Structure 1
Amino acid sequence: MDRTNVRELQDVVIRFSGDSGDGMQLTGTLFSDTSALLGNGISTFPDYPAEIRAPQGTVAGVSGFQVHFANRPGLNPGDYCDVLVAMNPAALKANRKWLKRGATVIIDGDSITEEHLKKAGFATLDPLAELKLDEYNVVIPDITTMTREALKDSGLDNKAIVKCKNMFALGICFYLFNRPEDYAKRYLDTKFAKKNPAIAEANKRAMDAGYNFAANTHQFANTYNVPPAHLEKGTYRTISGNVATAWGLCAAAEKAGLPLFCGSYPITPATVILEELAKRKDLGVKTVQAEDEIAGICTAIGAAFAGNFAVTTTSGPGLSLKSEALGLAVMTELPLVVVDVQRGGPSTGLPTKTEQSDLVQALYGRNGECPVVVMAASTPSDCFHFAFEAGRIAMEHMTPVILLTDGFIANGSEPWRIPSMKDYPTIVPPIVDKAPEGGFMPYVRNEKLARGWAFPGKVGLEHRVGGLEKDSVKGSISHDPANHQKMVNTRAAKVAKVVEDIPDQTVLGPQEGELLVVGWGGTRGNLQSAVMQLQEEGKSVSLCHFNYINPLPRNVREIFARFKRIVVCELNEGQFAGYLRQHFQEFHYDQYNKCEGLPFTVVELKEKFYTLLAE
């Protein structure tokens, strides 16, 4: 189709929003995957309601999916949207605050009824005036009616037809941003090939109807093109943080030459890791959906004793339940990776929202002197690398490792350059295959202070493990005070010695200056965007973002000493800042904290940094 008035943009943020049953997650995923196939950098933010099934048409039940696609690698899903697709008044009301000035708003006109407006909490029958949208480009197509018309001879019932309205909205956006429909149509054919091909055909026709509506009615003055990003050469795919975590664990098992075992209890937002691992029977992965969190970690500890690379996955409340068994893994000195996909807490809290409030629990949430390695991933794609690293450290150092991600990066997605496994190191656990002269002593240690890993069933390697303190060499039960002191010191020294096996901390930007921004885990994309924008303005700002938390990298003190001011930004009330004060008391730390169940915005970060630089 010939087009006029095509404008080229560097980046665009679209937010798809509607009721939980309106298919917004699928709509956003198909748009983002299509953009990724065109070579755009993308970053996504699925935003689920916290209630399993909130009342339809209410603000509490609004589900959203935000995608940021650009002509450069995506660092974050964007603060505010250029286009809002709202399937009902509640979605419009919930997302009004996220509109950029002059944004395009597409709302299903059929949904603007007195009943829907009342459910959404509007005081009048004119939502556009009430929300002061006169300065925005508001388009109100009757999406439901046109979907029904397009599918009137499909043979589907009315309920099934109305469910296709999200594809009508997707077709509008495909036209508006010059996206081809081919990938989305192939996905629909594959998804419904066996279940119901008629559903696939109906969705494709609805998509075409939306595309043709946008092309023929001239309600959009322009269409837009976002050129491909300049990415490093390689084979890419879109990946979410949870899937990347699962695959990184599989890679670690492969490089160790051991079977992977995952014992877990389903919990939002970590369940997808268990589901993804359950698909990998072709790689020898074994999964157990346990009856509770405690059973999940205990099966994993048993699997580690039996010679598996053992993993358990959870979120904050589940990590609490696993704490006693995690102490058992520390005492037995068995390798174990615990993945904690953090969510808003405490208790059930905000199960579909993001937060970084489990750090103190990960560091200290066990009885006794019970140190473990703590790491954090920063982006959806680097969840692969840090899951691999967690497995490597756990197996080579014979210690539990907690890997922290969060709901933001676990559910979000971005292009991932598929690595070659030859570029990843072989993992060499201290496996003992045969008894040495004089007999096997289970707590004799190597240069990493790791004890030998002897699998059961081998003659001469019989030994005891358990929760009671063991003799520092023989492994027999010991109540000797001096031996307990020695073992406490040794276990702490073993974790501290991991510092020799991790990279030095890096700084983005000048290596000294006025302000050092410090963050950890999933906040990196937003912090990096804010810092880079200030650097482009000539401000003396640098970023120091942490992935290795216990132990901290060796050169942290030297880095901090080179900056006049340090601000620690985290999605909690200051847990990492408090941890840094314990280790490096000579520095003053400003804090910027947020506990809204949402990631930082670049705008609010920049305002904070401007304030600190001006003081």
Structure 2
Amino acid sequence: MPATQCFAQAGQGDVPDSAVVRFAGDSGDGIQVLGDQFSLTSAIAGNDISTFPDYPSEVRAPQGSTYGVSAFQIQFGGRNIKTIGDSADVLIAFNPAALKTNLDILKPGGLIIADQGAFTRRGLKKAGYDSSPLDDGSLEGYRLLAIDITKQTMAATASFDLSKKDKQRCKNFWGLGLIFWLFHRDRDTTTAWLNKKFAKKPEIARANIAALNAGHVYGENIEAAHELYSCNIPAAEMPAGEYRAVTGSQAAAWGLAAAAELSKRPLVFSSYPITPATTILHHLARLKDLGVVTFQAEDEIAAMCSAIGSSYGGKLGATASSGPGIALKTEAIGLAVAAELPVVIINSQRAGPSTGLPTKTEQSDLYQAVYGRNGDTPLPVLAARSPADCFYAAIEAARIAQKYMTPVIMLMDGYLGNASEPWRIPDMADLPDISVANWTDPEGFSPFRRDEHTLARVWAIPGTPGLEHRIGGLERDYDTGDVSYDPEN
């Protein structure tokens, strides 16, 4: 049974094995918080999940405009969930702009929960509506539940000593409470989160909890009136183990940290902030206790060159960027190829060209990764397939880079970076040793002495007695490393 039918009948037919919910509202409506809390609660309920936060590209678009709509989509179910779903069963829209920009994602017959209080003449005009879609019949074919969420929230928080603005801000949790009722979600986890989040402002915590509970009670009442029925999605059968939700950016960061441990080398991560890759730097900056060194460079070129220098010094050098930043790193990537130094380069792709749409996803940097260097300089390119797979892709990129002494590009994108899914936390003892020994024998040493099996040059640490050497970007002899003009070289 589709989830859309489940809402229309109580306890009849088969139980749906999955559902897709999309939250949408203004950037200031706390949409991402709602999505995170619903995702966490669904995961705790035993569902497999896949999520995607959808941000506007503008830093702060005008409130109520279509440009400023923020959204969060989650598919959850009692089966193996691989995507966020092509279309939604439920759309909760906190203003007219959210409805207008997200309606095409809703399935025919899908449920719309709209904040009627936001559909004022001014709000409709900002969204480009000539008349209210809640009243003009344009939403026929969908199941519409129009509620003055703002008014309901104000009533639920009336007893709290807060400003009108602070009370209205609780409306997102009122909506979440209704969605919790709709899918039989437990409120305890979110209640605990609110108490912790606003520990220093307990009145705000209590107001949001009151709104959350009021939304849930509202759902119970409409079910009693036979207007709408809740839908219980079963838990998924998943391999035994300890799980946590993980985004692609988190997984990539932790994968690099794990690769350093498996390589028996310190990780030095050099990066310049750029959406959507910046969060990898943020996550790694929190891992100083694991010996991770992070360096926020002054520009993309400096970030790449410092990663190369870290590798030359015997560390696991790594960097991350997006398409425009990778373009700036190109010459230095060619130097890493010529010098045969292992560097992991993560490209978290976004829509382009140029600045493009920094918060929107596009997988259009493949040719740039494969061919985008002078001399058609080749290097290995990997691509992660899911948020959790970014962990293993980062380890594999480090393994290849060190084994064959070459830079490696790992492709991910804004969707993978921001999306989350359950990840079974691995035991480090089960992961492979990817270490490559440093060359320490000065007898007959050449910086381009080759491993007879991999043909990679040896990795000698500068300053080691008898192994002093220099390398660079000039064409050189394959064996000796001396500058060579021989066409057969």
Sort the TM-score into its range (normalised by shorter chain). Answer: over 0.9
Equivalences for residues 459-498 of structure 1 within 5 A: 459-476=465-482, 478-482=483-487, 485-486=488-489
Distance 2:38 2:11 in 1: 19
Q: 1:394 aligns with which of 364, 388, 401?
A: 401
Amino acid at match of 2:210: R
Q: 1:376 aligns with which of 383, 397, 419?
A: 383
293-302 or 80-89, larger mean C-alpha shift: 293-302
Shift of 1:103: 1.2
Distance 2:160 2:273 in 1: 38
Distance 2:32 2:253 in 1: 21
Distance 1:93 1:129 in 2: 14
Distance 1:11 1:275 in 2: 33
* Residue 445 of structure 1 pairs with residue 429 of structure 2: no
Shift of 1:136: 2.1
Partner of 1:367: 374
Q: 1:178 aligns with which of 161, 184, 194?
A: 184
Shift of 1:129: 4.8
- Tell me if structure 2 keeps the 8 A contact 1:332–1:465: yes
Distance 1:296 1:365 in 2: 18
Deviations 1:293-345 (A, max 9, x none): 11111111111111111110111111101101111111111110110011111
* Residue 256 of structure 1 pairs with residue 263 of structure 2: yes
Distance 1:162 1:287 in 2: 41
Distance 2:300 2:26 in 1: 31
Structure 1 counterpart SS, 2:134 = helix
Partner of 1:191: 197
Equivalences for residues 484-563 of structure 1 within 5 A: 485-486=488-489
Q: 1:203 aligns with which of 201, 208, 213?
A: 208
Q: 1:327 aligns with which of 331, 334, 342?
A: 334
Larger relative contact order, structure 1 or 2 (CA cutoff 8 Å, min sep 6): 2
Distance 2:157 2:294 in 1: 43
- Tell me if structure 2 keeps the 8 A contact 1:6–1:225: no
Distance 1:122 1:366 in 2: 48
Shift of 1:155: 2.6
Amino acid at match of 1:242: S
- Tell me if structure 2 keeps the 8 A contact 1:430–1:451: no
Distance 1:166 1:224 in 2: 21
Distance 2:284 2:373 in 1: 28
Structure 1 residues 282, 197: closer, same or farther in 2, change over 3 A? farther
Distance 2:166 2:296 in 1: 33
- Tell me if structure 2 keeps the 8 A contact 1:96–1:131: no
Distance 1:151 1:326 in 2: 57
Partner of 1:136: 142
Equivalences for residues 27-42 of structure 1 within 5 A: 27-42=34-49
Partner of 2:362: 355
Deviations 1:426-462 (A, max 9, x none): 0122411x23423x21101111111111112211111
Shift of 1:473: 3.0
Distance 2:460 2:170 in 1: 57
Shift of 1:263: 0.6
Distance 2:193 2:395 in 1: 30
Deviations 1:112-156 (A, max 9, x none): 1000000000012x2135572133221122211222222233333
Superposition CA RMSD, Å = 1.7
Structure 1 counterpart SS, 2:25 = strand
Amino acid at match of 1:29: D
Shift of 1:6: 4.7
Partner of 2:160: 154
Distance 1:34 1:13 in 2: 15
Shift of 1:77: 0.7
Equivalences for residues 572-587 of structure 1 within 5 A: none
* Residue 272 of structure 1 pairs with residue 279 of structure 2: yes
Shift of 1:353: 1.1
Structure 2 counterpart SS, 1:115 = helix
**How many residues are paired up?**
476
Distance 2:306 2:204 in 1: 42
Structure 1 residues 313, 129: closer, same or farther in 2, change over 3 A? same
Distance 2:198 2:134 in 1: 38
Shift of 1:397: 1.3
* Residue 456 of structure 1 pairs with residue 462 of structure 2: yes
Distance 1:215 1:277 in 2: 44
- Tell me if structure 2 keeps the 8 A contact 1:93–1:131: no
- Tell me if structure 2 keeps the 8 A contact 1:248–1:388: yes
- Tell me if structure 2 keeps the 8 A contact 1:240–1:412: yes
Structure 2 counterpart SS, 1:372 = coil
- Tell me if structure 1 keeps the 8 A contact 2:134–2:146: no
Amino acid at match of 1:212: V
* Residue 47 of structure 1 pairs with residue 54 of structure 2: yes
Partner of 1:521: none
* Residue 92 of structure 1 pairs with residue 93 of structure 2: no
Shift of 1:264: 0.6
Structure 2 counterpart SS, 1:135 = coil
Distance 1:21 1:6 in 2: 38
Q: 1:407 aligns with which of 405, 411, 414?
A: 414
Amino acid at match of 2:170: C
Distance 1:292 1:151 in 2: 48
Residue ranges of structure 2 left out of the alignment (5+ in a row): 1-8
Distance 2:143 2:231 in 1: 15
Equivalences for residues 58-73 of structure 1 within 5 A: 58-73=65-80
Structure 1 residues 400, 86: closer, same or farther in 2, change over 3 A? same
* Residue 296 of structure 1 pairs with residue 267 of structure 2: no
Partner of 2:318: 311
Shift of 1:46: 1.5
Amino acid at match of 1:183: T
Shift of 1:285: 0.7
Identity of aligned residues (%): 51
Q: 1:240 aligns with which of 234, 240, 247?
A: 247
Partner of 1:543: none
Partner of 1:101: 108
Deviations 1:154-188 (A, max 9, x none): 33323222222111110100011100011122222
Partner of 2:124: 117
Name the TM-score, length of structure 1 as normaliser: 0.75
Q: 1:428 aligns with which of 430, 435, 445?
A: 435
Structure 2 counterpart SS, 1:338 = strand
Amino acid at match of 1:310: G
Deviations 1:374-431 (A, max 9, x none): 0100111111111110011111111100000111211111111111222211012241
Distance 1:406 1:260 in 2: 22
- Tell me if structure 1 keeps the 8 A contact 2:23–2:71: yes
- Tell me if structure 1 keeps the 8 A contact 2:222–2:228: no
- Tell me if structure 1 keeps the 8 A contact 2:174–2:212: yes
